[in-house]
Amino acid sequence: MSDDLAGTPAADPWDTIDDLSKWLEADQPVGGREGLLLRMLKLSEEVGEVAEAVIGATGQNPRKGTTHTWEDVEAELCDVVITAMVALRTLTPEARDVFGRHLARVAGRPRGTTAS
């Protein structure tokens, strides 16, 4: 792995995503279409971990009580973002451009007024 993965984030997060993708591809136990689908399913797993952390941070499971902090929720949300970026990079080597164009479209959408 590159130095970017050793603890210092790259200036451009997509550089780290590219490194993570290369690392995952090199050690992928299942390849092809099945490997691609499994990479997409990883996103659902990470979203589930966000839900678990929110439930734990709010103490909503009476059997377990408070088991997580809001910092745990933040970390899990970051994992979702990273996993989604890696999944997009798995689909296309042009992930940063695809994301940039999509983000620009979303940013350009009309926004409703907020209720007072």
Structure-block tokens of residue 64: 């377990």
**pLDDT digits over 68-115, tens only?**
999 999 999 999 999 999 999 999 999 999 999 999 999 999 988 776
**pLDDT digits over 2-30, tens only?**
444 556 666 899 999 999 999 999 988 88
Is residue 85 a contact partner of residue 95, using CB atoms and an 8 Å limit?
Answer: yes
In sign, the C-alpha dihedral spanning 41, 64, 76, 27 is negative
70-91 helix and 13-26 helix, angle to the nearest 10 degrees: 70
